[in-house]
Structure formats: structure tokens, C-alpha cells
């Protein structure tokens, strides 16, 4: 349920409601379903509130649709990843991409550490420092989490 609260907090719809200073929408929404369906509740309030101008309603409903499309894409992405893992488990195949990703990520990380330690000018190069952060963020958080952060039974 905590993730649902985070989704609502970080939604475009809620940002737009705050931007348009529609506190009455937030007050009413706070009384309904705080954990589930928060975006839908706010959408219904917006549609039924006569104090919100038609132009603001259009903006708010567009933000709602953007949030819903983003949510659908996220759900589809997770579903396709699960289907891939299920199919791989059915054929009991070896996922060589997992090993390749691990090796490339480890070698990249070691190369960056070596460069920072033994090449002093690298620390002064802001582009390298930013790229190092990007590589760590993408490789470690996304790719490694996908391949090595599974919840499947390891027995």
C-alpha cells in the first residue's frame, strides 16, 4: 500500500491540482480511499466540482490520463518481464544475457574505480564523473536488479 501512496504523491495529476491551487479537491480526496484508487477519486471530484473552470478541468483530466498511461506501461513492462522469466524456466535454459550483463557491469565498474584511483586527471573531468554516475545508476539499479533481484525460489 505504501507504493500506491508514492504513486499518488508523484503523479502529474496531483502536481497539476497543487499548481492550480485547488485545495478543496485535496481536502475532499483525503477523506476517500487514501490507499487505493486515489487518482480515480481525485478525477471524480474534479469532474463533479463546479468551482473548477472548464479550462482547468481539461488540464487536470489530461494530467490524469498521462498518469494512467504511465501506470499501464509500467504494468505491461513488469508483465512482459515475468512472462520472459516463466518461458525461460519452462525450457530450463541458461540465460547467457544475465551472465554477460554481470560481467560487463563488473568490468565497467572496476575500470571506473581504477581510472579514478590511478589517473588523477579523471577526477577533474566533470563529464567522466557524471558518466560514471549514470553507468552506476543504470547498470546497478536497473539491469542488476532485473537479473539478480528475482523473487523466484532459489532451491
Residue entry with cell 549514470: 134
6, part of any domain: yes
Q: Write the CB contacts of 86 (distance below 8 Å, at least 6 apart in sequence).
A: none
What pLDDT was estimated at residue 1?
Answer: 40
Per DSSP, the three-state class of 149 is coil
Q: Please say if the pLDDT value at position 98 is more than 70.
A: yes
For residue 139, the enclosing domain spans 94-155
pTM for the whole structure = 0.40
Task: Give mean pLDDT, residues 9-16.
Answer: 71
Query: Which of 68, 64, 50, 54 has its CA nearest to residue 16?
Result: 64
Q: Which of 29, 44, 76 is the last residue of a domain?
A: 76
Burial degree of 83 (CB within 10 A; 0-12, 13-18, 19+): exposed
d(CA 95, CA 149): 14
Q: Which of 76, 106, 132 is the last residue of a domain?
A: 76
Amino acid at each position: 500500500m505504501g507504493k500506491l501512496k508514492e504513486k499518488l504523491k508523484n503523479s502529474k495529476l496531483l502536481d497539476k491540482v497543487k499548481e492550480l491551487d485547488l485545495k478543496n479537491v485535496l481536502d475532499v480526496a483525503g477523506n476517500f480511499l487514501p490507499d487505493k484508487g486515489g487518482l480515480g477519486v481525485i478525477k471524480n471530484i474534479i469532474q463533479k466540482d463546479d468551482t473548477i473552470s472548464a479550462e482547468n478541468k481539461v488540464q487536470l483530466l489530461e494530467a490524469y490520463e498521462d498518469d494512467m498511461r504511465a501506470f499501464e506501461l509500467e504494468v505491461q513492462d513488469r508483465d512482459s518481464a515475468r512472462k520472459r522469466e516463466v518461458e525461460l524456466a519452462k525450457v530450463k535454459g541458461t540465460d547467457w544475457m544475465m551472465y554477460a550483463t554481470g560481467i560487463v557491469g563488473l568490468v565497467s565498474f572496476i575500470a571506473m574505480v581504477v581510472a579514478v584511483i590511478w589517473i588523477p586527471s579523471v577526477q577533474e573531468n566533470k563529464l567522466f564523473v557524471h558518466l560514471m554516475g549514470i553507468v552506476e545508476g543504470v547498470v546497478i539499479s536497473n539491469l542488476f536488479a532485473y537479473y539478480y533481484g528475482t523473487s523466484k525460489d532459489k532451491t
